Amino acid sequence: MAKEPHELADLFGKLLTRATSEAGKAARYGREVLSLRQLRADREQMFVKLGKEVRQLVDAGEVRHPGLERGVARIAEYEEKIRRAEDTLRRAGVDPDAAAGPEGEGTPPADAPHRG
């Protein structure tokens, strides 16, 4: 059964209105998702900053708390392990700052044999 031209125009008009409305919702939700991600990233940056400040206070003896002191000691252990790993890479001719690629793969020294 064929629709009248004005019925088709009404149907397409309703479809266009609905599509425009849904596109607006998608754009709004997209902005909200981006905003939420930024807020979470800002919070993480604040945790890092706060942690560094706490470490400085503990190191300076201005703050004493067993849990904080254990955390600072653990960070010092990680830093020592990192230093040793960097030294090992340097002795192998690898720049430790350039050693991690996007997937965390090490960069071989320039004179290393090519594998591939």
Judge whether 10 and 17 are in contact, CB under 8 Å: no
Write the pLDDT tens digit of every residue in 23-35.
888 888 899 999 9
With a cut of 90, say whether residue 18 has pLDDT above it: no
Residue 72 CB partners (closer than 8 Å, separation 6+): 54, 55, 58, 59
What is the identity of the amino acid at 16? Answer: L
Average pLDDT of the residues of the chain: 85
With a cut of 90, say whether residue 22 has pLDDT above it: no
Q: What are the sequence ranges of the domains in the chain? A: 24-91
The proportion of the chain whose per-residue pLDDT surpasses 70, expressed as a percent, equals 82
Write the pLDDT tens digit of every residue in 54-89.
999 999 999 999 999 999 999 999 999 999 999 999
